[in-house]
A and B are shown apart, each in its own frame.
Chain A
Amino acid sequence: MSAWLRDLALGARLARSGGRGARSRVVLTAIGVALGVALLLVAASLPHMLAARDARTDARSDLQLSGPPPVAGVGTLLVADVNDRFRADDVRGRLLRAEGPVAPIPPGLERLPAAGELFVSPALAELLRSEEGALLRERLPQPIAGTIGDAGLAGPAELAWYRGSDDLRLRADDGTVRRIDRFGEPGGSTAPDPVMQLLAVVVLTALLLPVAVFVATAARFGGEARDRRLAALRLLGADMAMARRIAAGEALVSALLGLLLGALLFLGVRRLAGEVTLFGLSVYPGDVTPSAGLALAVALGVPTAAVLLTLAALRGVVVDPLGAVRRARPRRRRVWWRLALPLLGVLLLLPLIGGDTRSAAEHELQLAAGVVLVLVGVAALLPWLVEAAVHRLPGGGVAWQLATRRLQLDSGASARVVSGIAVAVAGAVALQTTFSGVENGYVSGSGDGRTADVWAHDDGRPGAGAQRLAAALQGSDGVRGAVVAGEQIEAGHGDTTEYVRVADCATLRRVAPIDRCADGDVFVVGEVTSLRPGARLRLDGGTSWTIPRDARVLQRWRGSPDPDDGASYSIPDPVLATPGALAGLPLRPRTTLATVTLADDGRDAIEHVRNTVARLDETATVAMLGGRSYDREYANLRRALFAGAVAVLTLIGASMLVGALEQLRERRRPLAVLAAFGTPRGALARALLWQTAIPVALGLALAVAAGAGLGAALLRMVGEPVGFDLASIAGLAATGAAVVLLVTLATLPALRRTVRPEGLRAE
């Protein structure tokens, strides 16, 4: 043990006092390790980030799911959801009206807003003050009376507001206006969706493995120069074991320095966390706190890995005291254990296929282990695959020959760097395949992005609300085509719930093949309901109404009309009534529906429509039919994948660049000699490109195969049919290839410097 410590300490001293070359290698490795450590610490903070966010959103929850509904009293509050969107961002809005002096106050506010008072989040305040927010200001014209504190917001970039209202009333049971006696629902967050859990496990695995591969690669930077230095130690009497331990000591210094730099980088990132919104996700700096266990694992794991990797790397190197460093004739890589890893992974995943989704998600550990083994298998198989493939490559031009011979001599370094990309792409392909497969369950909306649906409330006489909404929309900015408007009334019939659509004759003709029509007429769409004339219905849960006996039964309904004609409902409500048919009935506020065709000019047509609708009913919902609307949890996961993939690919690109520069530095002399006897720089650049591109092409092929297989398995686990999104897979592969091209381009200036005659100097 003391020999170990002595040799490690000697290595550390040599790293510090080994001159400029040794120090620059230490710094290079430390920077690589630091990037990885910072990313690992961010990942280690994820549990706390999510928990803190959930705790805040739970604490402000105004959905009282447990206990009996509260009755009006001194401690109750009426709350209306006014959730909205502004361009690509969600806006959370609430109207509040206290019913007594001790009504609950939402977290982040010091008092309840008085009628007309607006309290906003800092991000919304900034947006409303800016030119960008001019259109949103039309919906929120009140002066800002206060700011919502951090405790009341999901994150610093959240757009949220509370406004006092003195005319808020409980409506029919549509849930838009609620009575509550407290904020916060213990455990208010719904249980995570098992499919989401499953995807989250794969996202984390796919993103973190490349980081681990990167740290392992960074720990081996500068290996050749280190080997030469070890020869001098051998001359002084160090045996091979001592030399390896001394080298490990050097690596330890780099790793510890990297750990320190990584921690500092993480603190810097943490300070900036509040300022940055990545793909719609924002967090407070305080949320970015690594969990103690994971931070400890990073702090201990990185230096330990650096020492072990150095010892492992030196097993294949013979350093003799006369300065000759030989790579032991590289043994052909064995495939059995490399293949065993993904096979074991598949064996772990197989039992989860075909069962129900929940059981797959409940076996989180088994799933994670399976996914990790398959992805680690990609990283382990790649060096073997590259070695096996490059020995079979045919001859070609000079650049090709230089590249393939280099890879035949030592493909390990290239394959190691590329395995980071391969794992990232394999994970991303698996996820992309899974996302595409389960998308239908989490995405709503379809169409061409030119039409919007409006749901508003109206408590006037039946039919009048639709006319009011239609008139307002016809005159609104942002509306191009005709407006199809109507009202929808819930109609109970026995144990079933049907709907009655109330609209004028012109509107009804657009959704059903009606020839004769006058106010007071009623139609039954026979194809979609068993209701017939004479049936008794309970409208809005109370008012009794009989479908007139002279109501006409339509045998067919019209399909979706041309969106230019004011796109409409693909399947009409079963009963269609003109306003006169329901005149005089005491009906409570009803849902008024409209479909509008948006103007083509500019992105803000929908914002004008929202403003128009908000003037009629603040709580109205306006949804783009063409805008694909993702389930929030699903959207967050997709965003996390994109954010993580960007970070990982940047990291891997940096790693490849550092690796390529390191190799150029090591090969300064041979390259200068090649240039001296007239090798065109273009040929040298192409050789570099091939040298990177060949392993990357093999890596991507392996990654796509493994990723698609894994994706198919995950789809089977969640009971979805297997299908592949070829465009996305091609896109991911192209991204990997682009990283290679960029790295090669970035190394060209260094190549130019390397082939200068100074490289020929032997002294």
Chain B
Amino acid sequence: MSATEPLLAAHDLRKAFGPTPALDGASIEIAAGEVVAVMGPSGSGKSTLLHCLAGVARPDTGSVRYRGRELSGCGDAELSALRRGEFGFVFQFGQLVPELSCVENVALPLRLEGVGRREAERRARTWLERLEVAELAGKTPGQVSGGEGQRVAVARALAIEPRVVFADEPTGALDSLNGEQVMRLLREAAQESGAAVVLVTHEPRVAAWSDREVVVRDGRTAATEPVLP
């Protein structure tokens, strides 16, 4: 990867679900350490764009390059390994594994990377402390509030110290106070570890935490504009 090449770049992505086009020529570039908000109305294709960027879904046509490597040429096992080792994820409803305790949830990506259970849980506790939810370590997701669950999910996303964090409506299910807290912690933690953040949201208040906004409309990236300080 050259010094000027973006960390993650998508070009002319198209993807349809049956007869319905979700992406219709979307393009985006994300630099290392950058926080980019992907905005747009419901159904505009922003989650699909995020899934294609993260290698969760494959575009019908177009290219996604991560650190100079074309993802469309990667097999399922390679993409899984990439997501395990380089990417972190936060979703709207936290999506913690209900049967695992909070500390086990945060330790899970580390364990998938081959870190031993004790070491993984030790590191997971550190992340829970940084996200100010250390006291939840032994509780299961069913026993914590929505805001607490989202903070645990952020800790889980950052535990492997990823290069990119993909956050899909991370505050969508939270009240504004909790939403602000989660965004502050996500932004701070990502900045400290040097991770880029791709933030899908339809709320300008959330997008305000990003460095730059990309607007998706009808499956196309309509505009890219820097967020005013």
Contact = CB atoms under 8 A, between A and B. Distances in A.
A402 interface: yes
Nearest to B157: A677
B192 interface: no
A762 B42 contact: no
Given A402-B97, A402-B100, A406-B99, A673 B89 contact: yes
B56 A757 contact: yes
B85 interface: yes
B92 A762 contact: yes
Given A676-B54, A677-B89, A408 B81 contact: no
A683 interface: yes
B49 to A, nearest CB: 12
B67 interface: no
Contacts of B108: 398, 674, 677, 679
Contacts of B193: none
Contacts of B47: 760-761
A761 B104 CA distance: 24
B226 interface: no
B85 A757 contact: no
B97 A762 contact: no
Contact of B112 (A327, A398, A409, A763): A398
A673 B97 contact: yes
Nearest to A326: B142
A401 interface: yes
Of B87, B95, B142, chain A has the most CB atoms within 10 Å of the CB of B95
B40 interface: no
Interface in A646-680: 669-670, 673-680
B100 A401 contact: yes
Contact residues of A: prevailing secondary structure: helix
Chain B interface size band reads 35 or more
Contacts, number: 91
A398 B109 CA distance: 10
B148 interface: no
Given A678-B109, A757-B56, A670 B97 contact: yes
Contacts of A757: 51, 56-57
B77 interface: yes
Interface in A741-763: 756-758, 760-763
Contacts of B65: none
Nearest to A667: B98
Contacts of B161: none
Contact of A760 (B91, B101, B104, B109): B91
A531 B77 CA distance: 88
A763 B42 contact: yes
Contacts of B112: 398, 677-680, 683
B140 A409 contact: yes
Contacts of A675: 56, 80
Contacts of A409: 98-99, 140
Contacts of A293: none
A405 interface: yes
B82 A762 contact: no
Contacts of B11: none
Interface in A68-109: none
Contacts of B111: 397-398, 401
B83 interface: yes
A19 interface: no
Given A402-B100, A677-B89, 4 more contacts: A409-B99, A677-B84, A678-B109, A679-B108
10 contacts: A405-B97, A670-B95, A677-B84, A678-B85, A678-B112, A679-B108, A679-B112, A683-B112, A760-B47, A760-B56
Interface of A: 326-327, 395, 397-398, 401-402, 405-406, 408-409, 669-670, 673-681, 683, 756-758, 760-763
